[in-house]
Amino acid sequence: MEEFNDNIQGRVPTHVSIIMDGNGRWAQLRGKERVYGHSHGVESVRACVEAAAETGVRYLSLFAFSSENWGRPEAEVNTLMKLMFKAIADEIEALKKQRVRFRVLGDMSRLEPALVEAIRTAEAFTEPEDGKEPILDLIIFLSYSGKWDILQAAKRLAEAHASDPAGTENATADEFASYLVTSGIPDPDLIIRTSGESRISNYLLWQAAYSEFLFVDTLWPDFRKEEFRSALKEYAKRDRRYGKVK
């Protein structure tokens, strides 16, 4: 591990975010139903959590289900929600043991109450009891879209200043960001999208302002530790200037 960290000269991203894409195609290539790809995708989630913890990434976020994904056939939506239930039940003990804090962000009002309850229980369970920082925050974006997040933040900001128009007038970008569901989480340094697609698909629109992007051809069920580490090596080569000159 030390050797790996040496190779990337201490340039490990604090927050890596992944648009997990290509489960359906992976299954199709094997003559199987799409759900077969999704369940193998859970294995990739586990591998990336381990790789992130091992390499010193502090936040790993994953786009698991977008607001637009509600428009998929009902059977697939139901299967994905069941998979989420099962993944929580199967993985939560191991996450706690690894000192990984589990969090889910998105429009919870569209989820089944039982799933919301399982999520809240899992979040509380992985909250470190000793008050120490977790090794890794694993953030799952579920029923999430960037436009939804920006809109709900705008509404909450307006509400907070309802009786104080000057407050809205003087609002800063930092204040606005405190109303996004990602408040308190650093913006992603690196956003990876798998499966050869090169688009943001209504993901972290505000938070991605200065993220580095990496588009890889690997389909999500094949994106494991080695691919995660290669992505970090690629990130280490990037020159981030944030609109300034060096």
Q: How far is the CB of 233 from ligand FPP (least distance, A)?
A: 24
Q: Name the amino acid, one letter, at 72.
A: R
Beta bridge pairs of residue 138: 60, 102
Site string for ligand FPP, 21-60 (x = CB under 6 A): xxxxx--------x---x--xx--x---------------
Find out whether 23 and 38 touch, Cβ atoms under 8 Å. Answer: yes
Q: Assess 157 for contact with ligand FPP (CB under 6 A).
A: no
Helices (H), 73-218: 74-97, 113-125, 146-160, 165-169, 173-177
Q: Tell me which stretch binds ligand FPP (CB under 6 A): 7-15, 76-84, 116-124, 224-232.
A: 76-84
User: How many Cβ atoms are within 10 Å of 189's Cβ, its own excluded?
Assistant: 21
Q: How far is the CB of 121 from ligand FPP (least distance, A)?
A: 16
What is the distance between the alpha carbons of residues 88 and 86, in angstroms, rounded to a whole number? Answer: 5
| Cα 202–chain centre separation | 13
Q: How far is the CB of 226 from ligand FPP (least distance, A)?
A: 18
Which residues does the annotation mark as catalytic? Answer: 21, 69
Two structure tokens written together for 190: 């690196």
Show contacts with ligand FPP in window 192-231 (CB under 6 A). 195, 220
| Cα 82–chain centre separation | 19
Q: Which is nearer to ligand FPP, 73 or 131 (by Cβ)?
A: 73
Among 64, 105, 153, 185, binds ligand FPP (CB under 6 A): 64
Site string for ligand FPP, 111-140 (x = CB under 6 A): -----------------------------x
